Structure 1
Amino acid sequence: MNTRVIIICVLGLLYPYCGFGQALNAISGKESLVHTGAGSEKTEKEKYVYHVYETTSKVAFEIPHYLGEPCTEKWSRFQANYTRTYDQNVGFSSTTVEFAKPAIYHAVNKINKYIVKAVKKKNVTREEAIRLLSHVLDCANTLLYEDDTTQLEKSLASTKEPELLIKIFKQIKLVKA
């Protein structure tokens, strides 16, 4: 009994030094504010920076979106680029859907559902929701063509709450090339 108590106390003392919970602090934004004194705050630089290349291609089939035209084109491009459907001819007839970068795909879908519900409940204005979802979709459409997204994908895959997923996407800065 006493050895268990001692082990628990030692682990409790080593907790801050072993890095447990560091990923959660980075995602929750606790490290993103730097105090400069006298109550003023400035935000830290973005954690992820990616280059955006202009594309002029149109999507063959546009999927209507709840928030309207600014998001419809981006949402359609997102769905067309991230999902691939294969028909099976042998055995039971069904289709197989494959996702490119599934962590990003599922995170964007979760954020989309969260934002649409927030607009319906009037927790956020339509303009704010359009601005936020446009940024998320711009990031997702850019990330599809990036090679080094493993760290971002790990962060997105380990996060389940939509608010924290939005914070991760807010840390992404897109630079036009």
Structure 2
Amino acid sequence: MSEDLLRYDILIQDALRGAVKKILAEVGRTGLPGDHHFYIAFDTNAPGVRVSQRLKERYPQEMTIVLQHQFWDLAIGEHAFEVGLSFGGVPEKLLVPFSAIKGFFDPSVQFALEFDPGKTAEELPEELLEAVEELARAEQEHAESEAKAEDGAGGREAASSEPKRKKPKAAAEAADNAASGEVVSLDAFRKKT
């Protein structure tokens, strides 16, 4: 048997990823029709994936998201899609390259596609990879400075005659998300602010 120099397996994977891209683009324009909804599994370690550190710790290898009732800002790019979802009441923005997708399933019509992540002829642009790395560094620096500020505030509170009031965690997270330009639900602000 001769060697497959055309790499039909990769061509088919890329074509099917193109179908997922078209499906998501249509939903981004018109919304979900009928009972359609999607389960999308992806490799959280794939190049170009952007998820918060909190989600990365919770899903170190793979994550499955559901696009059904509560998602927002679905944006489809040439190489990736971005979507807003809520996890445990906390709004998050995810960026998922199409090459990171492992599975796509629409249970309303029993339609499923399975992929080998990273098995693609498509290369992600350097700008996308650099932007994701820069965002990850900025998020890490923000978390470190926040931790230092909390440590420093704790020491000052003990020395002060009047204790400093701390914001409830949900309100603090909502304020941080608002400051970073992320989508924040009104309910996040209402929780004991």
Same fold (TM over 0.5): no
Q: Between Structure 1 and Structure 2, which shows a larger proportion of helix residues? A: 1
Q: Between Structure 1 and Structure 2, which shows a larger proportion of strand residues? A: 2
Greater relative contact order (Cα < 8 A, sep 6+): 1
Which category describes the TM-score, using the shorter chain as reference length?
under 0.3
The TM-score, its normalising length taken from structure 2, stands at 0.23
The TM-score, its normalising length taken from structure 1, stands at 0.25
